[in-house]
Amino acid sequence: MTTVAVTPDPEITPKSADAALGTTRSDRVKRRLTSRWATLAAIIIATVWTVPTFGLLLSSFRPADQISTSGWWTFFSDPQLTLDNYSEVLFSSSASSPQLGEYFVNSLAIAIPGTLIPLVLASLAAYAFAWVKFKGSSTLFVIVFALQIVPLQMALIPLLQLFVTFLQPFQTALSEAVPFISERQFLPVWIAHAVFGLPLAIFLLHNFISEIPSEVIEAARVDGAGHGQIFFRIILPLAMPAIASFAIFQFLWVWNDLLVALVFSSGTPDTAPLTQRLAELAGSRGENWERLTAGAFVSLVVPLLVFFGLQRYFVRGLLAGSAKG
C-alpha cells in the first residue's frame, strides 16, 4: 500500500496572486491549527490503544511478587526484569502449572491444516465459479455467499453429533489398529475450521480470480490447455497475493479461535490449543498474574509475528474483502 498520494500543492494554482496569497496564508494557519489538534488527538488514541498491550508485556517480565503487589508503571522507578515467568509457563514440570509448550504445538497442529484444507478447496471452487460456465453458477455462488453469514453457532450442536456418530468410531478403530495413533485427534477441529472458513474463502478468492484478464485464459485454451493446466499454471501463480492474504486471515482466525476448540477438542493436553488453556487459566486462577501475563504473550507471539511480518498482505486481504462485500 502506498501511503503518500501525489498531492498537487494548492499554492501553485491560484487564480490571482493577491487573493491567493491571502487565502493560502489564512488557509495555512487554519490547517496548521486543526492539524495540531488532530495530531494531538491521534497521539492520544494511539497511546490508549497501545498502553494495555505494553503494560501486559512489561508485566510478563517482572518478578512474580512484584506483579502482584505493584503496578507495572512502577517499573520505571524500580526496574527489575526476569525470564522466570516464561520458563515456568512453558517448561515447568509440576502438574499445577500451565505447561504451555504442549498446547503451543497443538495450536500449530490445528492452525496449519486448518488453514491449508479450506484454502485448497476454496481455490478450486473459486476457479469453478469464476471461469467454468455452467447453469446456475451465479445462484450457487449467492448461496455460498449467504452461508458466510450464517453464524457458526447455528451449526455447532448437530456437527458435534455428526462427529460423534461417524467420526469417533472411525477414530477409535484406527487407534486400536495402529497403536501409536492417539484416539483423540485433531480431525474434528480441522473439519470444523474448514467448514466455517470455506464460504468467506470462496467469496474472496472468487473476487480476485474472476478479475484475471480473460485474454490470458483464452490464450491458454487456444493452446490446448485443459482446466487442470489452466488452474495450476495460470490461476494459482496469478492469484498468489489473494491466496496469501486469505491464508494469513484464516491462520490468525484459527489460531485465535476459542469456541470451535471448546466444542470440538477434548480439552486435554493432547488436542487443546493455547487459547483454550489460557481461557481456563483466566477463569480458574485469575489472580496468578505472573502466569497469565507470560501465558498471554506466548499465545500472542505467533499472531504478532505474522502481523508484523506479513502486514502488507494482511491489509490487502482486508481491503479486498471489505471493498467488495
Q: List the interface residues with other proteins, window 3-32 (CB under 8 A).
A: 3-5, 7-8, 10, 13, 27, 30-31
Binding mask 103-142 for other proteins (x = CB under 8 A): --xx--x---x---x---xx-xx-xxx--xxxxx-x-x-x
Taking CB under 8 A as the rule, does residue 79 contact other proteins?
Answer: no
> What is the distance between the alpha carbons of residues 301 and 309, in angstroms, rounded to a whole number?
12
Q: Does 325 bind other proteins (CB under 8 A)?
A: yes
Nearest to 110 by CA among 271, 305, 300: 271
Amino acid 314 reads F
Per CB under 8 A, which region of 79-87, 91-99, 145-153, 214-222 contacts other proteins?
145-153
Nearer to other proteins, 124 or 212 (CB): 124
Q: Which helix (H) or strand (E) holds 269?
A: none
CB-based contact 113:105 (threshold 8 Å):
no
C-alpha cell at 281: 487459566
Q: Which of 28, 39, 81, 91 binds other proteins (CB under 8 A)?
A: 39
Residue with cell 505447561: 99
Q: Which is closer to other proteins, CB of 79 or CB of 133?
A: 133
170 binds other proteins (CB under 8 A): yes
Q: Which stretch binds other proteins (CB under 8 A): 75-83, 92-100, 181-189, 212-220?
A: 181-189
CA-CA-CA-CA dihedral for 18, 24, 25, 26, to nearest 10: 110
Give the shortest CB-149-to-other proteins separation in angstroms.
Answer: 5
Q: Can you read off the three cell numbers belonging to residue 49?
A: 490503544
Total of chain residues touching other proteins, rule CB under 8 A: 139
Window 290 to 319, contacts with other proteins (CB under 8 A): 292-293, 295-296, 299-300, 303-304, 306-308, 311, 314-315, 318-319
Per rule CB under 8 A, is residue 267 in the interface with other proteins?
no
3-state helix, strand, coil split of the chain in percent (to 5) is 75, 0, 25
What is the C-alpha separation between 192 and 265, in angstroms, rounded?
11
